[in-house]
Amino acid sequence: DAKTTQPPSMDCAEGRAANLPCNHSTISGNEYVYWYRQIHSQGPQYIIHGLKNNETNEMASLIITEDRKSSTLILPHATLRDTAVYYCIVPTGTSYGKLTFGQGTILTVHP
Amino acid sequence: GAVVSQHPSWVICKSGTSVKIECRSLDFQATTMFWYRQFPKQSLMLMATSNEGSKATYEQGVEKDKFLINHASLTLSTLTVTSAHPEDSSFYICSARARKETQYFGPGTRLLVL
């Protein structure tokens, strides 16, 4: 697996952008970066994924550096409901391989 | 996104009994389903991978005779915890994906063994 490194926790004020970083320096050329989040006592929720280009959907934006060794998940206008553990994952081998969950980043959104 | 359901959402059972958990993909055909376990304050740990119509592949350290997995159709996988004991109490989560697509997770099943 391409190992990912995330800060253990981050805070964000409601209404502001939340920028969650992830390092994946050993990622190989055909491996995707996936982001999931887990709200307390629920199953993980898919957010977004990308290979090399920046991606945006209704939930978030994903910015991947040109060398692909790191990425940033951006929640443009964080709400209290965005408080969760955010996982940055590089699946084993292929874009649809096994997901290995690390400890993720606990994002706390404050009023 | 795709919807994955699990049933039951929580279950309490006596030690020594067996418990079956169902995982269904509601709006897509899941060629592969995954089962995870999560203990309090820990991350998700993959238990096994199952492909429709074939035997499940278990991760190292997961007892295949204790955690029976059946993936008989493209929309249903079941996990049976046989002879459950208190140490099996955990949050069990399934995920499903269509061929070469994103994994989507179910809401999880909380198991408490007394």
B98 at the A interface (CB within 8 A)? no
Identify which of B32, B46, B107 has the shortest CB distance to residue A43: B107
Q: What is the pLDDT of residues A19-47, one digit of tens each?
A: 999 999 999 888 899 999 999 989 999 99
| Chain A residues close to B98, C-beta within 8 Å | none
Angle subtended at Cα A20 by Cα A8 and Cα A53, rounded to the nearest 5 degrees:
135
CB of B6 less than 8 A from some CB of A: yes
pLDDT at B52: 84
Residue among A80, A61, A82 at smallest CA distance from A72: A61
**pLDDT one-digit tens code per residue, A40-77:** 989 999 999 999 989 999 999 999 999 999 999 999 99
Q: What is the mean pLDDT of each run of 10 residues along chain B (114 residues)?
A: 93 97 94 95 94 89 95 93 97 90 94 98
Select from A6, A25, A11 the least CA-distant residue to A82: A11
The answer to whether A8 contacts chain B (CB < 8 Å) is no
Element at B33 (helix H, strand E): strand B32-38
Nearest by CB to A103, which of B43, B93, B104? B43
Check residue A2 and give its pLDDT.
Answer: 63
Please indicate if any CB of chain B lies within 8 Å of the CB of A104: yes
